[in-house]
Structure 1
Amino acid sequence: MKHPLTLTLLGLALLPAWAASHSTALFISEQDLNGDGQVTQAELKLGREVEFTRIDFNADGLLSETEYLGEFEGRLMQRVGKIVDPEKRHEELQRQMRQAKVRFGVLDTDRSGSITREEFQAAGLRMFQLHDRNHDDVVDEADVRLAEEERKAGKESFVAP
């Protein structure tokens, strides 16, 4: 019988890479590796590590702009391929790729031209902290409810319910 961690890591390697979402509910669904309805910092770090390793095509420990944008474009093509209107599909592809290029620049905090593991992890942890509205070191349904309450109270923020 295989070790549960080995099976988890194998499953993680098959997942598509996701940016840390701006929606708390989506963040949970994307980052909840064990399916318990919540995301811990350890779980997020593990997922980000697997994601970084998968995107780092040449295994040099850095994400080049080509690696980062190429991985994103592959996922994007699957999504925009469902848009029937060719002009809208093309516009969406260009818009999303421009945003991805900007995200690369934001993640490359030392302006070295590549994203280090540390920079990649730090970006994920910043999103975790934004979603952890009750500051209990877990992102879960309670945080989704708090985000929804803030939205209803007119306190729109960078992250949504």
Structure 2
Amino acid sequence: MKTISLCLGLLIAVPAVAQGMASDRADLAQRLSQADADGDGQVTRAEFVAYRAGQFARFDRNGDGFISDDDVPRLLAGRFAPRLQAMRQQFDTNHDGRISRDEFVNGPARGFDLADANHDNIVTAAEMKALNDKSKAIRGG
């Protein structure tokens, strides 16, 4: 009986996870498009880092130079806690519980690396399209 319950749980959870992954990829493709500073249809790693630097203030809502729990309004803390925790795991290299501007801007660029299929530090329009196609296939549309 436990095995049946586990299997049913996985059948319900897997599409949700897949759709979440597709949504993340679609968000990534959108962020990459926004990072195309010179409008040439491709994003260099330097453009992506500059875009990230510009986004820091969006997360550092209280302007103290760090992304931390203090930047999330109490009313929304529960909703954004998982996202902030994921950001901490990815960017907080000194493990002080907050993310500095340097940690955020120069931290891992997993999304860029995922999109940069040939690893030449440039995400081309074709690579962005491939990323979009993958997300649509996962979403089933």
Q: Is the 8 A contact 2:116 2:127 kept in 1?
A: yes
Structure 2 unmatched runs, 5+: 1-23
Distance 1:124 1:34 in 2: 23
1:101 aligns with 2:104: no
Q: 1:29 to 1:145 in 2, by over 3 A?
A: closer
AA paired with 1:22? R
**8 Å contact kept, 1:28–1:140:** no
Secondary structure of 2:25's partner? Answer: coil
Equivalent pairs counted in the alignment come to 110
> Higher helix fraction: Structure 1 or Structure 2?
2
Are the aligned partners of 2:92 and 2:98 in contact in 1 as well (CA < 8 Å)?
Answer: yes
Distance (whole Å) between structure 1 residues aligned to residue 113 and residue 70 of structure 2: 28
Counterparts of residues 2-151 of structure 1 (less than 5 Å): 22-23=25-26, 25-67=29-71, 69-70=72-73, 97-106=80-89, 107-123=91-107, 125-144=109-128, 146-147=130-131, 151=134
State the Cα RMSD in Å. Answer: 3.3
User: Matched residue of 2:52: which SS?
Assistant: helix
- State the SS of the aligned residue for 2:67: strand
Q: What is the distance in 2 between the residues matched to 1:116 and 1:42?
A: 19
Larger Rg computed on CA atoms: 2
Could you say if the C-alpha distance between residues 109 and 31 of structure 1 is closer, same or farther in structure 2, counting changes exceeding 3 Å? same
Q: TM-score, with normalisation over the residues of structure 2?
A: 0.57
Distance 1:112 1:66 in 2: 14
Tell me which stretches of 4 or more aligned residues in structure 1 moved more than 6 Å. Answer: none
Q: Deviations over 1:134-157 (max 9, x none)?
A: 1121112232355578x5xxxx8x
Counterpart Cα distance in 2 of 1:146 and 1:115: 31
Q: Please list the CA deviations of residues 31-63 of structure 1 after superposition, one character each: whole Å capped at 9, or x if unmatched.
A: 223322211111111111121134334443222
Contact in 2 for aligned 1:44/1:124 (Cα 8 Å): no
Structure 1 residue 98, shift from structure 2 partner: 4.3
Distance 1:122 1:29, change over 3 A: same
TM-score by length of 1: 0.51
- Identity rate of aligned residues, in percent? 33
